[in-house]
Amino acid sequence: MSVLALVNARLLDPASDYDGPGALLIEHGRIVEVIHGPAPPQPAGIEVIDVHGLCLAPGLIDIRIKTGEPGAEPKETLKSASLSAAAGGVTTIVIQPDTDPAVDDPAMVDFIQRRGAALNLVNVFAAGAATRTLDGQRMAEIGLMAEAGALYFTDGDRVITNSRTLQRVMGYAVAFNALIACRPSEPWLSEGTVATSGELATRLGLSGSPAIGERIQLERDLALVEQTGVRFLVDQISTEGALETLARARARGLEVAASVSINHLCFNEIDIGDYRTFYRLDPPLRAESDRLALIEAVRDGLIDVITSAHAPAPAEDKRRPFAEAAPGAVGLETLLAAALSLHHQDGLDLLDILRPLTHGPATLLDLESGVLEADAPADLVLFDPGAPVVVDAATLRSKSRNSPFDGRRLQGRVLLTIVGGRIVHDARQTGG
Protein backbone atom coordinates (compact mmCIF):
# COMPACT_ATOMS: atom_id res chain seq x y z
CA MET A 1 0.00 0.00 0.00
CA SER A 2 1.16 3.53 -0.68
CA VAL A 3 -0.25 4.91 2.60
CA LEU A 4 0.96 3.60 5.96
CA ALA A 5 0.03 4.68 9.49
CA LEU A 6 2.20 3.85 12.50
CA VAL A 7 0.02 4.39 15.57
CA ASN A 8 0.28 4.12 19.35
CA ALA A 9 4.00 4.93 19.27
CA ARG A 10 6.33 6.66 21.68
CA LEU A 11 7.71 9.28 19.31
CA LEU A 12 11.30 10.35 19.92
CA ASP A 13 12.29 13.38 17.84
CA PRO A 14 15.55 15.03 18.94
CA ALA A 15 15.06 17.87 16.43
CA SER A 16 11.95 19.11 18.24
CA ASP A 17 12.78 17.66 21.67
CA TYR A 18 9.51 15.73 21.59
CA ASP A 19 9.28 12.53 23.60
CA GLY A 20 5.71 11.40 23.93
CA PRO A 21 2.79 9.46 22.46
CA GLY A 22 1.94 9.89 18.82
CA ALA A 23 1.57 8.49 15.34
CA LEU A 24 2.99 8.96 11.85
CA LEU A 25 1.26 8.89 8.49
CA ILE A 26 3.49 7.95 5.54
CA GLU A 27 2.75 8.27 1.84
CA HIS A 28 4.98 7.93 -1.23
CA GLY A 29 8.08 7.50 0.90
CA ARG A 30 7.64 10.63 3.01
CA ILE A 31 6.04 11.58 6.29
CA VAL A 32 2.80 13.43 5.53
CA GLU A 33 1.56 13.94 9.09
CA VAL A 34 2.96 13.77 12.61
CA ILE A 35 0.35 13.37 15.33
CA HIS A 36 1.20 14.13 18.94
CA GLY A 37 -1.15 12.24 21.21
CA PRO A 38 -3.68 9.52 20.31
CA ALA A 39 -4.25 9.04 16.60
CA PRO A 40 -7.80 9.34 15.24
CA PRO A 41 -9.31 6.32 13.43
CA GLN A 42 -7.78 5.91 9.98
CA PRO A 43 -9.97 5.71 6.89
CA ALA A 44 -10.32 2.53 4.87
CA GLY A 45 -7.50 1.75 2.48
CA ILE A 46 -4.68 2.76 4.84
CA GLU A 47 -2.40 0.09 6.22
CA VAL A 48 -2.19 0.54 9.99
CA ILE A 49 0.61 -0.83 12.18
CA ASP A 50 -0.05 -0.62 15.91
CA VAL A 51 3.36 -0.48 17.59
CA HIS A 52 1.97 -0.81 21.13
CA GLY A 53 3.90 2.03 22.77
CA LEU A 54 7.34 1.12 21.42
CA CYS A 55 9.87 3.81 20.49
CA LEU A 56 9.67 5.29 17.00
CA ALA A 57 12.53 7.60 16.00
CA PRO A 58 14.26 8.90 12.89
CA GLY A 59 16.52 6.27 11.36
CA LEU A 60 20.13 6.38 12.47
CA ILE A 61 22.72 8.09 10.25
CA ASP A 62 26.21 6.60 10.39
CA ILE A 63 28.79 8.81 8.70
CA ARG A 64 31.91 6.64 9.08
CA ILE A 65 31.57 3.26 7.38
CA LYS A 66 34.41 1.26 5.89
CA THR A 67 33.71 -1.44 3.32
CA GLY A 68 35.88 -3.65 1.18
CA GLU A 69 34.05 -2.72 -2.01
CA PRO A 70 35.72 -2.00 -4.29
CA GLY A 71 39.03 -3.78 -3.86
CA ALA A 72 38.65 -6.02 -0.80
CA GLU A 73 35.18 -7.53 -1.04
CA PRO A 74 35.94 -10.52 1.27
CA LYS A 75 36.02 -8.03 4.16
CA GLU A 76 32.71 -6.37 3.36
CA THR A 77 30.56 -5.46 0.38
CA LEU A 78 28.15 -2.59 0.03
CA LYS A 79 25.35 -5.17 0.17
CA SER A 80 26.51 -6.81 3.41
CA ALA A 81 27.11 -3.39 4.96
CA SER A 82 23.63 -2.27 3.90
CA LEU A 83 22.04 -5.41 5.33
CA SER A 84 23.91 -4.84 8.58
CA ALA A 85 22.77 -1.22 8.64
CA ALA A 86 19.13 -2.15 8.10
CA ALA A 87 19.29 -4.72 10.89
CA GLY A 88 20.74 -2.07 13.21
CA GLY A 89 18.16 0.63 12.49
CA VAL A 90 20.67 2.63 10.44
CA THR A 91 18.93 4.13 7.41
CA THR A 92 21.81 6.18 5.97
CA ILE A 93 25.48 5.26 5.71
CA VAL A 94 28.45 7.27 4.42
CA ILE A 95 31.27 5.20 2.96
CA GLN A 96 34.87 6.16 3.72
CA PRO A 97 37.17 6.85 0.74
CA ASP A 98 39.90 4.33 1.61
CA THR A 99 38.79 1.75 -0.95
CA ASP A 100 40.89 0.36 -3.82
CA PRO A 101 40.89 2.48 -5.87
CA ALA A 102 40.31 5.34 -3.49
CA VAL A 103 37.21 7.52 -3.78
CA ASP A 104 39.17 10.50 -5.06
CA ASP A 105 37.33 11.45 -8.24
CA PRO A 106 33.69 11.99 -9.33
CA ALA A 107 33.49 8.61 -11.08
CA MET A 108 34.21 6.75 -7.84
CA VAL A 109 31.69 8.83 -5.92
CA ASP A 110 29.12 8.02 -8.60
CA PHE A 111 30.01 4.30 -8.47
CA ILE A 112 29.52 4.05 -4.70
CA GLN A 113 26.20 5.87 -4.75
CA ARG A 114 24.79 4.11 -7.83
CA ARG A 115 25.75 0.74 -6.41
CA GLY A 116 24.12 1.60 -3.09
CA ALA A 117 20.93 2.81 -4.79
CA ALA A 118 20.71 -0.38 -6.86
CA LEU A 119 20.67 -2.48 -3.69
CA ASN A 120 17.44 -0.71 -2.65
CA LEU A 121 18.12 -1.19 1.07
CA VAL A 122 19.45 1.89 2.89
CA ASN A 123 20.65 5.29 1.71
CA VAL A 124 24.30 5.04 0.64
CA PHE A 125 26.50 8.10 0.22
CA ALA A 126 30.23 8.57 -0.26
CA ALA A 127 32.83 10.68 1.49
CA GLY A 128 35.45 11.89 -0.96
CA ALA A 129 39.19 11.79 -0.39
CA ALA A 130 40.80 15.10 0.54
CA THR A 131 43.99 14.19 -1.31
CA ARG A 132 44.61 12.02 -4.35
CA THR A 133 45.04 8.35 -3.47
CA LEU A 134 45.01 9.54 0.16
CA ASP A 135 48.68 10.43 -0.22
CA GLY A 136 48.47 13.57 1.90
CA GLN A 137 50.27 15.62 -0.74
CA ARG A 138 48.13 16.30 -3.82
CA MET A 139 44.73 17.88 -3.38
CA ALA A 140 41.83 15.87 -4.82
CA GLU A 141 39.05 17.27 -7.04
CA ILE A 142 36.88 18.40 -4.14
CA GLY A 143 34.60 20.62 -6.23
CA LEU A 144 33.80 17.96 -8.83
CA MET A 145 33.21 15.31 -6.16
CA ALA A 146 30.92 17.67 -4.28
CA GLU A 147 28.88 18.10 -7.49
CA ALA A 148 28.76 14.30 -7.82
CA GLY A 149 27.25 14.02 -4.34
CA ALA A 150 30.15 13.46 -1.92
CA LEU A 151 28.96 14.58 1.52
CA TYR A 152 32.33 15.51 3.01
CA PHE A 153 36.05 15.11 2.42
CA THR A 154 38.62 13.25 4.45
CA ASP A 155 41.71 11.07 4.23
CA GLY A 156 40.12 8.83 6.86
CA ASP A 157 42.61 7.26 9.22
CA ARG A 158 45.53 8.89 7.43
CA VAL A 159 46.68 12.20 8.87
CA ILE A 160 47.52 14.97 6.41
CA THR A 161 50.87 15.81 7.98
CA ASN A 162 51.79 18.46 5.42
CA SER A 163 50.27 21.64 6.83
CA ARG A 164 50.57 23.45 3.51
CA THR A 165 48.55 20.73 1.78
CA LEU A 166 45.85 20.83 4.45
CA GLN A 167 45.72 24.61 4.25
CA ARG A 168 45.16 24.37 0.49
CA VAL A 169 42.49 21.71 0.92
CA MET A 170 40.66 23.83 3.48
CA GLY A 171 40.96 27.02 1.44
CA TYR A 172 39.64 25.30 -1.69
CA ALA A 173 36.78 23.67 0.23
CA VAL A 174 35.53 27.06 1.41
CA ALA A 175 34.55 27.96 -2.16
CA PHE A 176 32.12 25.03 -2.18
CA ASN A 177 31.07 25.25 1.48
CA ALA A 178 32.45 21.72 1.71
CA LEU A 179 33.01 19.95 5.02
CA ILE A 180 36.55 18.74 5.78
CA ALA A 181 37.13 16.00 8.36
CA CYS A 182 40.47 15.12 9.98
CA ARG A 183 41.61 12.64 12.59
CA PRO A 184 43.41 14.49 15.42
CA SER A 185 46.45 12.27 15.78
CA GLU A 186 49.98 13.66 15.96
CA PRO A 187 51.77 11.30 13.56
CA TRP A 188 55.18 11.21 15.21
CA LEU A 189 53.73 10.42 18.62
CA SER A 190 51.29 7.80 17.31
CA GLU A 191 53.42 6.09 14.66
CA GLY A 192 53.72 2.37 15.37
CA THR A 193 51.64 2.52 18.56
CA VAL A 194 48.79 0.16 19.41
CA ALA A 195 47.55 1.30 22.84
CA THR A 196 47.27 4.39 25.02
CA SER A 197 50.45 5.30 26.90
CA GLY A 198 50.31 4.52 30.57
CA GLU A 199 50.75 1.85 33.19
CA LEU A 200 48.63 -0.74 31.38
CA ALA A 201 50.47 -0.44 28.05
CA THR A 202 53.81 -0.63 29.87
CA ARG A 203 52.76 -3.71 31.82
CA LEU A 204 51.52 -5.43 28.66
CA GLY A 205 54.61 -4.44 26.71
CA LEU A 206 52.61 -2.54 24.11
CA SER A 207 53.82 0.60 22.33
CA GLY A 208 51.79 3.50 23.65
CA SER A 209 50.37 6.62 22.05
CA PRO A 210 50.13 9.53 24.51
CA ALA A 211 46.74 11.20 24.83
CA ILE A 212 48.43 14.59 24.44
CA GLY A 213 49.11 13.75 20.77
CA GLU A 214 45.42 14.18 19.97
CA ARG A 215 45.32 17.67 21.44
CA ILE A 216 48.56 18.71 19.73
CA GLN A 217 47.24 17.75 16.30
CA LEU A 218 43.84 19.30 16.96
CA GLU A 219 45.46 22.61 17.90
CA ARG A 220 47.20 22.65 14.50
CA ASP A 221 44.04 21.76 12.61
CA LEU A 222 41.97 24.38 14.41
CA ALA A 223 44.56 27.07 13.71
CA LEU A 224 44.13 26.33 9.99
CA VAL A 225 40.34 26.29 10.39
CA GLU A 226 40.51 29.74 11.97
CA GLN A 227 42.73 31.02 9.18
CA THR A 228 40.65 29.60 6.30
CA GLY A 229 37.10 29.69 7.71
CA VAL A 230 36.37 26.15 6.51
CA ARG A 231 33.58 23.96 7.91
CA PHE A 232 35.40 21.31 9.91
CA LEU A 233 34.70 17.95 11.57
CA VAL A 234 36.99 16.59 14.28
CA ASP A 235 36.84 12.92 13.34
CA GLN A 236 36.72 10.41 16.23
CA ILE A 237 37.72 12.55 19.17
CA SER A 238 38.75 10.33 22.07
CA THR A 239 40.45 12.28 24.89
CA GLU A 240 39.42 14.74 27.56
CA GLY A 241 42.21 17.15 26.61
CA ALA A 242 41.01 17.35 23.02
CA LEU A 243 37.47 18.04 24.25
CA GLU A 244 38.77 21.06 26.16
CA THR A 245 40.47 22.34 23.00
CA LEU A 246 37.26 21.78 21.04
CA ALA A 247 35.20 23.71 23.59
CA ARG A 248 37.56 26.69 23.37
CA ALA A 249 37.33 26.69 19.58
CA ARG A 250 33.54 26.66 19.74
CA ALA A 251 33.64 29.56 22.21
CA ARG A 252 35.68 31.54 19.66
CA GLY A 253 32.93 31.01 17.10
CA LEU A 254 34.67 28.48 14.84
CA GLU A 255 32.35 26.27 12.79
CA VAL A 256 33.67 23.01 14.20
CA ALA A 257 31.79 19.79 14.82
CA ALA A 258 33.06 16.59 16.43
CA SER A 259 32.31 12.88 16.18
CA VAL A 260 33.05 10.03 18.56
CA SER A 261 32.93 6.30 18.01
CA ILE A 262 30.52 4.21 20.06
CA ASN A 263 33.49 2.06 21.09
CA HIS A 264 35.13 4.93 22.95
CA LEU A 265 31.88 5.65 24.76
CA CYS A 266 31.45 2.04 25.90
CA PHE A 267 34.98 0.72 26.50
CA ASN A 268 38.23 1.84 28.08
CA GLU A 269 41.84 0.66 27.94
CA ILE A 270 41.23 -1.99 30.60
CA ASP A 271 39.02 -3.89 28.16
CA ILE A 272 42.14 -4.90 26.23
CA GLY A 273 42.59 -7.40 29.06
CA ASP A 274 44.87 -10.25 28.07
CA TYR A 275 45.60 -8.92 24.57
CA ARG A 276 42.04 -9.22 23.19
CA THR A 277 42.49 -8.08 19.62
CA PHE A 278 38.82 -7.25 19.02
CA TYR A 279 39.60 -4.23 21.22
CA ARG A 280 42.53 -3.22 19.02
CA LEU A 281 41.20 0.07 17.71
CA ASP A 282 42.51 3.27 16.13
CA PRO A 283 42.44 5.61 18.00
CA PRO A 284 43.20 3.20 20.84
CA LEU A 285 40.89 2.78 23.78
CA ARG A 286 41.58 5.48 26.34
CA ALA A 287 41.51 5.87 30.12
CA GLU A 288 38.22 5.67 32.01
CA SER A 289 38.43 9.41 32.74
CA ASP A 290 38.46 10.06 28.99
CA ARG A 291 35.45 7.78 28.44
CA LEU A 292 33.45 9.56 31.14
CA ALA A 293 34.40 12.96 29.69
CA LEU A 294 33.18 11.82 26.26
CA ILE A 295 29.85 10.75 27.74
CA GLU A 296 29.42 14.14 29.38
CA ALA A 297 30.27 15.81 26.06
CA VAL A 298 27.44 13.85 24.45
CA ARG A 299 25.10 14.91 27.25
CA ASP A 300 26.12 18.57 26.92
CA GLY A 301 25.95 18.63 23.10
CA LEU A 302 29.66 19.29 22.61
CA ILE A 303 29.82 16.13 20.49
CA ASP A 304 27.60 16.34 17.41
CA VAL A 305 27.85 12.83 15.98
CA ILE A 306 28.16 9.27 17.30
CA THR A 307 29.40 6.75 14.74
CA SER A 308 29.82 2.99 14.74
CA ALA A 309 33.29 3.46 13.18
CA HIS A 310 32.43 0.27 11.29
CA ALA A 311 35.73 -1.23 10.12
CA PRO A 312 35.44 -4.89 9.10
CA ALA A 313 38.46 -7.17 9.36
CA PRO A 314 38.46 -10.92 8.69
CA ALA A 315 39.54 -13.42 11.33
CA GLU A 316 42.99 -13.89 9.82
CA ASP A 317 43.68 -10.18 10.34
CA LYS A 318 42.43 -10.14 13.93
CA ARG A 319 43.62 -13.44 15.38
CA ARG A 320 47.23 -12.36 15.60
CA PRO A 321 49.49 -10.99 18.33
CA PHE A 322 47.92 -7.75 19.57
CA ALA A 323 50.57 -5.48 18.03
CA GLU A 324 50.15 -7.17 14.63
CA ALA A 325 46.35 -7.35 14.55
CA ALA A 326 44.43 -5.06 12.20
CA PRO A 327 42.73 -2.18 14.03
CA GLY A 328 38.98 -1.66 13.88
CA ALA A 329 35.65 -3.25 14.70
CA VAL A 330 32.31 -3.84 13.05
CA GLY A 331 29.46 -1.95 14.66
CA LEU A 332 26.51 -1.22 12.39
CA GLU A 333 24.19 -3.84 13.91
CA THR A 334 25.14 -3.10 17.51
CA LEU A 335 25.21 0.71 17.29
CA LEU A 336 21.77 1.44 18.72
CA ALA A 337 21.85 -1.15 21.50
CA ALA A 338 25.35 -0.03 22.49
CA ALA A 339 24.28 3.62 22.49
CA LEU A 340 21.27 2.77 24.66
CA SER A 341 23.68 1.48 27.31
CA LEU A 342 24.47 5.15 27.91
CA HIS A 343 20.82 5.52 28.94
CA HIS A 344 20.55 2.35 31.00
CA GLN A 345 23.95 2.57 32.70
CA ASP A 346 24.99 6.23 32.56
CA GLY A 347 21.64 7.99 32.84
CA LEU A 348 21.64 9.92 29.58
CA ASP A 349 18.24 10.95 28.27
CA LEU A 350 17.06 9.05 25.21
CA LEU A 351 16.80 12.24 23.18
CA ASP A 352 20.38 13.20 24.10
CA ILE A 353 21.55 9.81 22.84
CA LEU A 354 19.51 9.86 19.64
CA ARG A 355 20.40 13.45 18.71
CA PRO A 356 24.01 12.69 17.63
CA LEU A 357 22.77 9.56 15.88
CA THR A 358 20.08 11.32 13.82
CA HIS A 359 19.52 15.07 13.79
CA GLY A 360 23.18 15.90 14.49
CA PRO A 361 24.70 14.16 11.45
CA ALA A 362 21.73 15.18 9.25
CA THR A 363 22.30 18.85 10.10
CA LEU A 364 26.06 18.53 9.61
CA LEU A 365 25.69 16.94 6.17
CA ASP A 366 22.62 18.93 5.09
CA LEU A 367 20.39 15.87 4.77
CA GLU A 368 16.57 15.99 4.83
CA SER A 369 16.33 13.00 7.17
CA GLY A 370 16.95 12.82 10.91
CA VAL A 371 13.62 14.41 11.89
CA LEU A 372 9.99 13.47 12.47
CA GLU A 373 8.15 16.18 10.60
CA ALA A 374 5.83 16.55 7.63
CA ASP A 375 7.54 16.19 4.22
CA ALA A 376 10.67 14.61 5.70
CA PRO A 377 11.80 11.27 4.24
CA ALA A 378 10.15 8.33 5.97
CA ASP A 379 13.46 6.94 7.26
CA LEU A 380 12.53 5.45 10.63
CA VAL A 381 13.50 2.93 13.29
CA LEU A 382 11.13 1.19 15.69
CA PHE A 383 12.81 -0.28 18.75
CA ASP A 384 12.14 -1.67 22.20
CA PRO A 385 14.62 0.11 24.51
CA GLY A 386 14.30 -2.44 27.30
CA ALA A 387 14.43 -5.68 25.32
CA PRO A 388 17.46 -7.79 26.22
CA VAL A 389 20.04 -8.44 23.53
CA VAL A 390 22.94 -10.86 23.74
CA VAL A 391 25.39 -10.02 20.96
CA ASP A 392 26.50 -13.08 19.02
CA ALA A 393 29.12 -12.14 16.45
CA ALA A 394 28.45 -15.35 14.53
CA THR A 395 24.97 -14.10 13.61
CA LEU A 396 26.00 -10.63 12.41
CA ARG A 397 25.19 -9.83 8.80
CA SER A 398 28.59 -8.30 8.17
CA LYS A 399 31.03 -10.47 6.24
CA SER A 400 33.53 -9.84 9.04
CA ARG A 401 32.70 -10.63 12.67
CA ASN A 402 35.25 -8.55 14.59
CA SER A 403 32.88 -7.14 17.20
CA PRO A 404 34.14 -6.06 20.63
CA PHE A 405 30.54 -6.45 21.83
CA ASP A 406 30.56 -10.21 21.15
CA GLY A 407 28.97 -11.94 24.14
CA ARG A 408 27.85 -8.65 25.74
CA ARG A 409 24.39 -8.35 27.26
CA LEU A 410 22.76 -5.14 26.06
CA GLN A 411 19.26 -3.69 26.04
CA GLY A 412 17.52 -2.33 22.98
CA ARG A 413 16.21 -4.39 20.07
CA VAL A 414 15.54 -2.99 16.61
CA LEU A 415 12.18 -4.29 15.47
CA LEU A 416 11.47 -2.36 12.27
CA THR A 417 13.60 -0.30 9.90
CA ILE A 418 11.88 1.81 7.26
CA VAL A 419 13.71 3.61 4.45
CA GLY A 420 11.79 5.89 2.12
CA GLY A 421 8.54 4.36 3.38
CA ARG A 422 9.74 0.81 2.61
CA ILE A 423 10.21 -1.79 5.33
CA VAL A 424 13.79 -3.04 4.85
CA HIS A 425 14.11 -4.95 8.13
CA ASP A 426 11.32 -6.53 10.19
CA ALA A 427 12.16 -8.46 13.35
CA ARG A 428 8.74 -8.19 14.99
CA GLN A 429 7.91 -11.84 14.42
CA THR A 430 11.33 -13.48 14.35
CA GLY A 431 12.94 -11.44 17.13
CA GLY A 432 16.11 -11.40 15.01
Position 388, amino acid: P
- Per-residue confidence (pLDDT) for residue 263, from 0 to 100: 98
Q: Cα–Cα distances in Å, from 169 out to 29, 142, 156, 182, 311?
A: 37, 8, 14, 11, 26
Classify the C-alpha dihedral 308-309-311-315 as positive or negative: negative
* Contact assessment for residue 18 and residue 11, using Cβ atoms and an 8 Å cutoff: yes
Q: CB 204: neighbour CB atoms within 10 A?
A: 17
294, 268 Cβ separation under 8 angstroms: no
Pairwise CA distance, residues 233 & 246, whole Å: 11
- State yes or no: cis peptide before 404, omega within 30 of 0: no
Q: Which residues contact 209 (CB under 8 A, 6 or more apart)?
A: 185, 189, 190, 193, 195, 196, 197, 283, 284
For each of the domains in the chain, give its residue range(s) and CATH number, in order of start. 58-365 (3.20.20.140)
Q: What is the reported pLDDT for 431?
A: 55
The answer to whether 65 touches 93, Cβ cutoff 8 Å, is yes
pTM for the full model? 0.97
The pLDDT value given to residue 432: 57
Check residue 2 and give its pLDDT. 75
> What count of other Cβ atoms lies within 10 Å of the Cβ of residue 16?
14
Please give the angle made by the CA atoms of 82, 88 and 91, to the nearest 5 degrees: 55
CB 180 within 8 A of CB 154: yes
pLDDT, residue 45, reads 82
- Tell me the C-alpha distance between 193 and 137, whole Å: 23
Q: Say whether the peptide bond before residue 43 is cis (omega within 30 degrees of 0).
A: no
Burial code (b: 16+ CB inside 10 Å, e: under 16) for 79-112 equals: bbbbbbbbbbbbbbbbbbbbbeebbbbbebbbbb
Per-residue pLDDT of the chain (432 residues; tens, 9 = 90+): 578 999 999 999 999 999 999 999 999 999 999 999 988 888 888 999 999 999 999 999 999 999 999 999 999 999 999 999 999 999 999 999 999 999 999 999 999 999 999 999 999 999 999 999 999 999 999 999 999 999 999 999 999 999 999 999 999 999 999 999 999 999 999 999 999 999 999 999 999 999 999 999 999 999 999 999 999 999 999 999 999 999 999 999 999 999 999 999 999 999 999 999 999 999 999 999 999 999 999 999 999 999 999 999 999 999 999 999 999 999 999 999 999 999 999 999 999 999 999 999 999 999 999 999 999 999 999 999 999 999 999 999 999 999 999 999 999 999 999 999 999 999 987 655
Q: From residue 81, how far is each of 84, 262, 310 by CA, in Å?
A: 5, 17, 9
